[in-house]
Structure 1
């Protein structure tokens, strides 16, 4: 559905390159804002860049970014610059909507490799990541202590996670609450050495022994009541159940910090790396890039804008303003100095895996999520065989 209208009749885009304008630009910048703090920060940075450069820059917070971009591409008048979700990136590239500009950004290798991979298609890095999040393990310190556990008991492996969860359960505490989708359970696939598609995005790799081992491990936790999905605790998401003190452990991204401050300010917790699996550490990365429209008439000015938005200094300002992590490795030490509790999140970039990077995968991945929601009673082999079949069909089509 994302670009369905634009895709009718071939790519759906006029292949004639738009005439470029060299004078002062009037850039339209479409963002998916997390709230007033992000809108204010991005607008302020854009205004400062415009004043310095002699251009103008209008920041537009989207109500529904995917829908508004799809309509703009179909109409042939997209914004010049816009946020691109990593999970949507391949859809846009496959219909020619994005300008491959990343090689024109200063020190592009400074961006974390896992984030660069999320915006690489057929060997070309198209756009640069603006920031990122990873999953880490949050532990409710009061529930932890009430079960007789200490900081030295924090699990670092799957085996230790199971043992610790059993100790929590024995004290009448729900051990773990975890979201029931690939965006959480997928971390176990990575820790087992598996994933849904090959690194080059050409082959389905869903039905591997590694992925099966991961799903069987999660299934065992579910069946022993060591892990529950949010719905089982009458919660909308894992952070809600965790904030209410209904589970001792959850696996969430750094967005949970703001949510807990706002809704459950009394809860005390620690942030820890996810336990390692059979093949070592693994987590999931969530990121957006600064996209530039292939049909923008101000490509050079748009590149200069993105350059300004992705300096280490500017990324640290955004981190202060609305809680994101800088995507440049050179900004890591300064970020940790300011936010020391976030070290497990930003360290996760070294062993993180981004979303599935292939077009037209939405319905396949939604079907996979449906299977994961039934994991306690379903056959993991059947779930993975179905994912393998449909993923390969999309990649081969």
Structure 2
């Protein structure tokens, strides 16, 4: 384990603390699940704000358990997690974003998942993979995230478009038609550069058959498929179909509402955002699967729930995590948050099973891909961010940009 690398810029004293505490565990059986106790839980963003209500409901049927939920902002989450891990003070249960899990599993601060309690087959394959590091599961999938195509159906009619684009070639053809025939300012909104540009690129990359890392965790970002995907991505900027400069915090839904942007790739939370903020758009937009290159493949994101290796409350923590990740718990969570369930059983009833739009999300998740967990995954994807920006700004060819990224990523993978 490379603990010093894992804690980044933290002081050497914290690195030493991590060395002493990270791999220890509680050293015993801990507190029994039915004993009176308090579970500490950290969750991020909106999930952190909503989880408190679920915890209150859980306590009503588990009188011996007090669940203390601490909401953490995503902007400070990594820093707080690293500091807590270094001090041996991680909460009993912690939400792990996909880019975090490999780092903290490598530190030795996460308890391996009990696969007798949590079955891999109950979850989307990509969701389970996100919680896996070095062949072992450390996170139970909580919710999933993917991207599909949002498009203006009313403007499509003006552009002479009668159906959603099914292929990448049709996507670009439609982007051009929206501009020339429907008078939109842009054809497709995709990110030109900056932090996490790679998330905008994933549908192009994966649909072309490319990847950042192969299944063995080796750099693969300059493959012929990846180069083809980045050439396609860059062509939108070269043809003035996508905006080359997008300000920080840009909200695509505003331009989608005005019609300046007729198409974009987005996540499930945007559905309710559009409905709530722009009721006048009702009936004027729809979602569709990612247009296919070799296949229709989108990114898989989301979060897992992990138990601290040092927790004295592992038994109770496991039961709480089970309540959040079984089909019933995930159906409830969807109703509260619109987060897509990672447990496929939750999709078999209610709105998730009957709503045509939800079926598109479900189908997209069946083929969605995630990047294998790595301790330095955030740093790895930042190299791809840089490569993409160099192409969208016309500073490099796709091949040269990805060759450079490949050489940099080679030194980061483990």
| TM-score above 0.5 | yes
Name which of structure 1's ranges 284-293 and 335-344 shifts more when overlaid on structure 2. Answer: 335-344
Q: So what's the TM-score if we normalise by structure 2?
A: 0.87
Question: 2:330 — aligned with what?
Answer: 315
Question: 2:266 — aligned with what?
Answer: 252
- Whole-Å Cα distance in 1 between the matches of residues 199 and 20 of structure 2? 32
Q: In the TM superposition, what is the alpha-carbon distance from 1:303 to its structure 2 partner?
A: 0.5
Question: 1:197 — aligned with what?
Answer: 213
Structure 1 SS opposite 2:246 = helix
Q: In the TM superposition, what is the alpha-carbon distance from 1:226 to its structure 2 partner?
A: 2.5
| Aligned mate of 1:364, from 380, 393, 399 | 380
- Shift in CA distance, 361/86, structure 1 to aligned 2, threshold 3 Å: closer
The answer to whether 1:47 aligns with 2:56 is yes
- Whole-Å Cα distance in 2 between the matches of residues 108 and 364 of structure 1? 27
CA displacement 1:298-335 (0-9 Å, x = unmatched): 11111011011112111111111111111111121324
Pairwise CA RMSD: 2.2
- Whole-Å Cα distance in 1 between the matches of residues 354 and 100 of structure 2? 32
Alpha carbons 2:96, 2:304 under 8 Å: kept = yes
Q: In the TM superposition, what is the alpha-carbon distance from 1:373 to its structure 2 partner?
A: 2.3
The answer to whether 1:394 aligns with 2:409 is no
Q: In the TM superposition, what is the alpha-carbon distance from 1:147 to its structure 2 partner?
A: 1.5
Structure 1 SS opposite 2:341 = coil
- Shift in CA distance, 164/391, structure 1 to aligned 2, threshold 3 Å: same
Alpha carbons 1:230, 1:236 under 8 Å: kept = no
Alpha carbons 1:81, 1:293 under 8 Å: kept = yes
CA displacement 1:325-376 (0-9 Å, x = unmatched): 1111112132433543222222111111124521123233223213322323
The answer to whether 1:264 aligns with 2:278 is yes
The answer to whether 1:325 aligns with 2:344 is no
- Whole-Å Cα distance in 2 between the matches of residues 374 and 111 of structure 1? 37
Question: 1:86 — aligned with what?
Answer: 98
The answer to whether 1:349 aligns with 2:356 is no
Alpha carbons 1:138, 1:271 under 8 Å: kept = yes
Q: In the TM superposition, what is the alpha-carbon distance from 1:13 to its structure 2 partner?
A: 4.6
Structure 1 SS opposite 2:408 = helix
The answer to whether 1:207 aligns with 2:217 is no
CA displacement 1:223-251 (0-9 Å, x = unmatched): 1122335618x971433432332111111
- Shift in CA distance, 17/294, structure 1 to aligned 2, threshold 3 Å: closer
CA displacement 1:127-172 (0-9 Å, x = unmatched): 2111111100001122212212223xx2101121122222222223
Q: In the TM superposition, what is the alpha-carbon distance from 1:8 to its structure 2 partner?
A: 2.1
Alpha carbons 1:253, 1:345 under 8 Å: kept = no
Question: 2:158 — aligned with what?
Answer: 146
Question: 1:17 — aligned with what?
Answer: 25
State how 1:63-142 maps to structure 2 within 5 Å.
Answer: 63=73, 64-142=76-154
- Shift in CA distance, 332/13, structure 1 to aligned 2, threshold 3 Å: farther
Q: Which runs of 5+ in 2 are unaligned?
A: none
Structure 2 SS opposite 1:284 = coil
- Whole-Å Cα distance in 2 between the matches of residues 248 and 337 of structure 1? 28
- Whole-Å Cα distance in 2 between the matches of residues 102 and 185 of structure 1? 35
Alpha carbons 2:208, 2:225 under 8 Å: kept = yes
Alpha carbons 1:212, 1:380 under 8 Å: kept = yes
Q: In the TM superposition, what is the alpha-carbon distance from 1:2 to its structure 2 partner?
A: 6.8
Alpha carbons 2:6, 2:107 under 8 Å: kept = no
Q: Which runs of 5+ in 1 are unaligned?
A: none
- Whole-Å Cα distance in 1 between the matches of residues 17 and 381 of structure 2? 25
Structure 2 SS opposite 1:289 = strand
Q: In the TM superposition, what is the alpha-carbon distance from 1:102 to its structure 2 partner?
A: 4.0
